[in-house]
Homo-oligomer: A and B are copies of this chain.
Amino acid sequence: MIGVGIVGYGYWGTNLVRNFSDANGSRVVAVCDLITSRFPALQARYPTIKTTSDYRDLLKNSEIDLIVVATPVSSHYEIALHALQAGKHVLVEKPMTATVAEGEQLLEEAAKRNKMIAVDHTFVYTGAVRKIEELVRGDHLGQLYYYDSVRVNLGLFQHDVNVLWDLAVHDLSIMDYILGVQPRAVAATGVAHIAHQPEDIAYLTCLFDNNLIAHFHVNWLAPVKIRRTLIGGDRQMIVYDDLEPSEKIKVYDKGVTLNPTPEGVYQMRVGYRTADMWAPQIPTTEALQVEALQLIECLEQGKTPITDGKVGLRVVRILEAATKSLAQHGQPIAL
């Protein structure tokens, strides 16, 4: 039985408490937050959970094996570092850290102390993303052409990080899981429209080897909510619309055909191929429950989680480079 301590009891903290309480193999020992007004309701529902406003109480508690850090990103590094130093395993909210340097130090500390460091890339544990990964790895799409994602809506402004760190982090974590390769350069543009606030709209391109291109459009000021990803390959193509109540994934058997012309290879005629569309059924288990169970299994069996610290660091590396490019009006930055 893994004892869990949760630092940060905001909106997401509620889900963390529920899922680590429900999961076979873990129990929530204690919860910490600076704002204590929501503790009575928590204790009414979970009478055995201890509460505190000082996260150091959790680090000292020998019943706790795993610290979950669900605070604003600026404090991730300090809390996670102290937790590792106190001999705890750590699960950190996304983005894992505010800088690459912080992330590297956490990984180093975890390795030194032989502790797990994982990042809460929740989308990776959804049925939809796992199904897409299965299709891509199973080579149903063939050679990949592009990965294109749009995540826009009205609100909610984050005051400490720009829209890339708030919204694109979801798509970068999904892309990292599905593609399994790293971009070699990024270029980003974006602007801030509200005084004293970070960039609220941004466009990020990731360039890979083999002519693979990825692009992310994120926006806090859009009148409609869009969550749509297109993934194109030379065999099949996927449309993933996370707002669809059913049929979130549509697989199109479409593409280009090349036919030689009398004039020879430099004059190949581009044709088009279209066939059936297919929407695979998707398991609806709550992603955070799948994630909790996987982390517990990893801790029990000494395995590495899918979303370990290296994954978290890869995503932070892209975000850091993108922010640098954005400040330079789109100047490409090599990774």
Q: Which residues of A contact B (CB under 8 A)?
A: 44-45, 47, 145-146, 148, 150, 152, 154-157, 185, 187, 189-197, 201, 203, 205, 207, 211-213, 215, 217, 219, 221-225, 230, 232, 234, 237-239, 243, 245-247, 250, 252-256, 258, 265-266, 268, 270, 272, 274-281, 325, 328-332
Contact = CB atoms under 8 A, between A and B. Distances in A.
Given A196-B266, A279-B276, A223 B211 contact: no
A204 to B, nearest CB: 9
A195 to B, nearest CB: 7
A267 to B, nearest CB: 8
A140 B259 CA distance: 36
Q: Which 7 pairs of residues, A with B, have the shortest CB-CB distance?
A: A187-B330, A223-B252, A223-B237, A277-B279, A189-B205, A157-B270, A329-B332
Given A146-B201, A225-B245, 7 more contacts: A189-B205, A194-B256, A194-B268, A194-B270, A221-B232, A222-B232, A329-B332
**Most chain B C-beta atoms within 10 Å of own C-beta, residue among A194, A255, A325:** A194
Nearest to A186: B330
A140 to B, nearest CB: 13
Given A230-B223, A279-B277, A331-B330, A213 B239 contact: no
B330 A195 contact: no
A276 B250 CA distance: 10
Interface of A is mostly: strand
B230 A213 contact: no
Identical subunits present: 4
Nearest to A203: B215
Given A215-B203, A245-B225, A277-B279, A193 B272 contact: no
Contact of A205 (B266, B277, B330): B330
A266 B278 CA distance: 38
Contact of A219 (B148, B203, B252, B254): B148
B45 A256 contact: no
Nearest to A284: B274
A203 B205 contact: yes
B155 A221 contact: no
6 contacts: A145-B193, A185-B329, A189-B213, A189-B215, A219-B230, A246-B277
Nearest to A224: B239
Contacts of A191: 146, 207, 211-213
A110 to B, nearest CB: 35
A187 B187 contact: yes
A221 B233 CA distance: 9
Contacts of A47: 44
A205 B187 CA distance: 11
A126 B263 CA distance: 38
Contacts of A234: 193
